[in-house]
A and B are shown apart, each in its own frame.
Chain A
Amino acid sequence: MGTLINLETPRKLVPLAKQASHVASEVFRPISRKYDRAEHEYPKELDMFAAMMDGKDAGVGNAGAGAAGVRRKDATDEDRNRNGSNMATVLGVIELCYGDVGLMLTLPRQGLGNSAIASVADDRQLARFVDKWAAMAITEPEAGSDSAAIRTTAVLDGDEYVLNGEKIYVTSGSRADLIVVWASLDPSKGRAAIKSFVVPRDNPGMILERLEHKLGIRASDTANFRLENCRVPRENLLGSPEIDTEKSFAGAMQTFDNTRPLVAGMAVGLARACLEETRTRLEEAGVTVDYTRPANVQHAAAARMLVLEADYEAALLLTLQAAWMADNSKPNSLQASMAKAKAGRSCVDIALGCVELCGSVGYGEDSLLEKWARDAKILDIFEGTQQIQLLVVARQLLGKSSADLR
């Protein structure tokens, strides 16, 4: 007794979700198309919004991808069911990405680097980097999914680390104050030697090479950096400087258990936007979905909508499950990757399916469906591709190591 299985939005978080939903419709949607066209132009409208959010210590300001971080503390009372910061953040992300994924990604001070800092920084570091906007730099030209294969190095020289290498696909790289850079203390020691370093974007030796031109999420800048004898204080290393076998890299990978549900949430929000738009368009065309009758006695477009919406619902609930487990200190690597895999592939299916159902209305630039279908694809790629998620899920289910199942 005492508990009740319930998969609705937690009552206390409904106001937060509503607030985020307002931002989506009042702030994001009106400028969605503008910044899709004006790639690399900074969406200055977000500054006002961010300033507004800085005045609050909770609420939607907490809803960006990186905000709350993923510290798993104060879960002392094991019997108590918690709906905490992971749930709140994922709900905010869903609503904001219902507005626009690209704009959400470029919300000031909500970068994935902020998440990394919030998750592993010590108290002194937290104090130093508070109120900064932090991007994340992991990927290199020769190391994508295989992040343990990165070649960027960090060498201790006196009280400073000297970083050398190349980083690509840094989201918000040209706009953030800080870049959290993954580099190896000793490439011969494999993943255990990989550490993250906080590098100010304007640090000498941190050279912004170019911005990418992309299929979608154009409102969000994607930067490439070259690190050339880039020196940072040794205090900028996040976590322990020890090269501690598997443990430290596992720690870095653990961040994914909390960030993957957020990216899944992005996909869920985008998918909902597509479904709602398509539902409206279909209703205008005289097709409504009847939830009480079998799909096979309905219009083919309605039957298709049922299939797409069912995938959406599964993705949503898998995402909430993963966030809920994080809030309750339950190990959730499996569920986080399940959520990311399902949401990533479903949002692509849904977005492309909705474009198809709406015909030229979906494909043309008069509606946002075509943009969402372009935006969607990145969600099945970043923060772990579909294939990486399947590897994680399969290894967990089958009890396999990464050596057995490669």
Chain B
Amino acid sequence: MSLVDRGLQLALRSSTRLASSDVLDRLGMRQSVERGLFRATKGTTRAAAVAGRTFAAATKLTSPARQPRAQDKGLFDLTPNDEQAMLIEAIADFAATAVRKAATEADAQSETPDELLAQAAELGLGMLGIPEELGGVMAERSAVTTVLVAEALAHGDMGIALAALAPGAVATTIGLWGDADQQAQYLPPFAGETPPAAALALLEPRPIFDPLRPGTKARRDGSDWVLSGAKSLVPRAAAGELFVVSADVPGTGPALFVIESGIEGLYTAPEPAMGLRAASTGRLILEDVRVPAGAILADGDPLVFAECVQRSRLGWCALAVGTGQAVLDYLIPYVNERSAFGEPISNRQAVAFAVADIGIELEGMRLTTWRAASRADQGKSFDRETALARTLCTHKAMKIGADGVQLLGGHGYVKEHPVERWYRDMRAAGLMEGALLV
């Protein structure tokens, strides 16, 4: 363990103790104390945060740490709890100011500015799935909370939201299914000030792709695993320091592997797409990448893999809901102010009904997504609910994106307004796999 790591470990240990304290919550001090802590640890984490950082166990665990689940009360309820409400408020504020302002430029440059990602990290976006023992700040594991966060952030911009949430997907994956060693090795840096760029890579470049049947293969060689294949539209692939990659294990089926960047045989290539450009999507190519036995997550349990796929789909639903809300919120003042034939175009049913339909379908997308996530939180099956949310979001998000452009007419087609970007981004919601996790 290097000095740097030790310093980080000490800082995180004290932060853990603070983070578990109810006193902070009671005093409403949690956020400010966390900011202070981050500042105090700045020197150590920054030194560790160069490309090719080594992930060495900073904490020893005897068993994996898991965030507990909240107990449900058996009542239908759509009200976020206080913790969720505070978090959403902070993120909505960040989305409305910083994210939305940066969106056009980030789209044009195909890159989200580092300082914006740092601000996102400071809000704790990447830490939602990290157990408190390892520096996390959320007392309970909640897919709903992650959904609410993703929704709020995507209201600012979908591409930036993807870039900002991608490391959290990896952290949550390891938080949910990593063993004690994997958690100790990889999770603490995600709770630091400069969390690693990381991505959950499931999608592959071919038509009618089924994530349950990855073309990427993992074969045994002694105790090692050797992986070959390609992953598609990986957020911030070029900057990535850590990847969780799916690969088919002969005999048992698809499994997840943790792969550090800089390893031999791992290449990235730019893969710009129609939308999500702020997330600097790239191709990840694996040519006989050799990783140790301990790189496989959850012993390659195919059920864990299937759950991972579903939880990532819910992440995409949440982004679609947030972006859809952005479309609606942008359209309403536009159609109310835009005048034609002597009155606001929103006085016409053809326009007004299109707006109403967006509102109705968007609310349906939101509720189906919430239901699936809340079932996940309650330990109930959520395959069905996830599939339905995804189906709805796939069809309706695209329509909302298209109608957004249509209602602005020619103005919708030019970059002066954000709706053309939302049109491009919304197309992603139904075809993406991986990259996010709730």
Q: Which of A8, A310, A324, A342 contacts B375 (CB 8 A)?
A: A8
* Closest B residue, CB atoms, query A82: B75
- Known A81-B75, A306-B391, A404-B347: A398·B82 in contact at CB below 8 Å: no
Verify if B330 is at the interface (C-beta below 8 Å from A).
no
Contact A393 B360 (CB under 8 A): yes
Instruction: For B208, list chain A residues within 8 Å (CB).
Output: 294, 296-297
Contact A335 B353 (CB under 8 A): no
Instruction: For B182, list chain A residues within 8 Å (CB).
Output: none
CA of A336 to CA of B96, assembled, Å: 29
When A and B form their complex, what is the total count of cross-chain residue pairs whose Cβ atoms lie within 8 Å? Answer: 182
Which of the 9-residue segments A144-152, A205-213, A233-241, A311-319 touches chain B?
A: A311-319
Instruction: For A314, list chain B residues within 8 Å (CB).
Output: 361, 363-365, 367-368, 392
Q: Which of A4, A306, A334 contacts B81 (CB 8 A)?
A: A4
For B205-234 the 0/1 string (1 means CB < 8 A from A) is 000111110000000000000000000000
Q: Which of B70, B346, B384 contacts A4 (CB 8 A)?
A: B70
Verify if A141 is at the interface (C-beta below 8 Å from B).
no
Contact B352 A87 (CB under 8 A): no
Verify if A34 is at the interface (C-beta below 8 Å from B).
no
Verify if A22 is at the interface (C-beta below 8 Å from B).
no
Verify if B356 is at the interface (C-beta below 8 Å from A).
yes
Interface residues of A in 280-312 (CB under 8 A from B): 291-297, 306-307, 309-311
Instruction: For B392, list chain A residues within 8 Å (CB).
Output: 310-311, 313-314
Q: Which of B209, B332, B346, B387 contacts A306 (CB 8 A)?
A: B387
Which residue of A291, A306, A387 has the most chain B CB atoms within 10 A of its CB atom? Answer: A291
For A87-108 the 0/1 string (1 means CB < 8 A from B) is 1000000000000000000000
- Known A291-B384, A292-B310, A310-B388: A338·B75 in contact at CB below 8 Å: no
For A321-350 the 0/1 string (1 means CB < 8 A from B) is 100100000000011001001100000000
* Closest B residue, CB atoms, query A323: B76
Q: Which of A11, A295, A310, A387 contacts B368 (CB 8 A)?
A: A310
Q: Which of A6, A338, A397, A399 contacts B72 (CB 8 A)?
A: A6
Contact B374 A405 (CB under 8 A): no
Instruction: For A4, list chain B residues within 8 Å (CB).
Output: 70-73, 77, 81, 374, 377
Verify if B265 is at the interface (C-beta below 8 Å from A).
no
Verify if B357 is at the interface (C-beta below 8 Å from A).
yes
- What's the least CB distance linking B410 to chain A, in Å? 22
- Known A292-B309, A313-B368, A314-B367: A7·B78 in contact at CB below 8 Å: yes
Contact A394 B352 (CB under 8 A): yes
- What's the least CB distance linking B339 to chain A, in Å? 13
CA of A317 to CA of B370, assembled, Å: 10
CA of A400 to CA of B351, assembled, Å: 13
CA of A12 to CA of B356, assembled, Å: 34
Contact B82 A10 (CB under 8 A): no
Verify if A16 is at the interface (C-beta below 8 Å from B).
no
Contact-residue size bin, chain A (C-beta under 8 Å from the other chain): 35 or more
Verify if A5 is at the interface (C-beta below 8 Å from B).
yes
For B356-396 the 0/1 string (1 means CB < 8 A from A) is 11011101110110110111011010011111110110010
For A377-396 the 0/1 string (1 means CB < 8 A from B) is 00000000001001101110
Interface residues of B in 19-76 (CB under 8 A from A): 70-76
Q: Which of A11, A292, A309 contacts B212 (CB 8 A)?
A: A292
Contact-residue size bin, chain B (C-beta under 8 Å from the other chain): 35 or more
Instruction: For B81, list chain A residues within 8 Å (CB).
Output: 1-5
Contact A318 B347 (CB under 8 A): no
Verify if B336 is at the interface (C-beta below 8 Å from A).
yes
* Closest B residue, CB atoms, query A328: B79
Q: Which of A11, A311, A313 contacts B75 (CB 8 A)?
A: A11
Verify if A83 is at the interface (C-beta below 8 Å from B).
yes
CA of A334 to CA of B385, assembled, Å: 25
Contact B364 A342 (CB under 8 A): yes
Verify if B184 is at the interface (C-beta below 8 Å from A).
no
Contact B144 A338 (CB under 8 A): no
Q: A10-B75, A11-B75, A400-B352 are in contact. List 15 more A-B contacts (CB 8 A).
A: A1-B81, A4-B377, A10-B76, A12-B75, A292-B306, A307-B391, A311-B392, A313-B364, A313-B389, A314-B364, A317-B371, A320-B76, A390-B353, A393-B359, A405-B347
Interface residues of B, Cβ cutoff 8 Å to A: 70-84, 144, 208-212, 306, 309-310, 328, 332, 335-336, 344, 346-347, 349, 352-353, 355-357, 359-361, 363-365, 367-368, 370-371, 373-375, 377-378, 380, 383-389, 391-392, 395
16 of the cross-chain contacts (CB-CB < 8 Å) are A1-B82, A3-B79, A4-B377, A5-B80, A6-B374, A12-B75, A291-B386, A294-B210, A306-B391, A307-B395, A310-B368, A321-B367, A324-B77, A394-B356, A395-B352, A399-B336
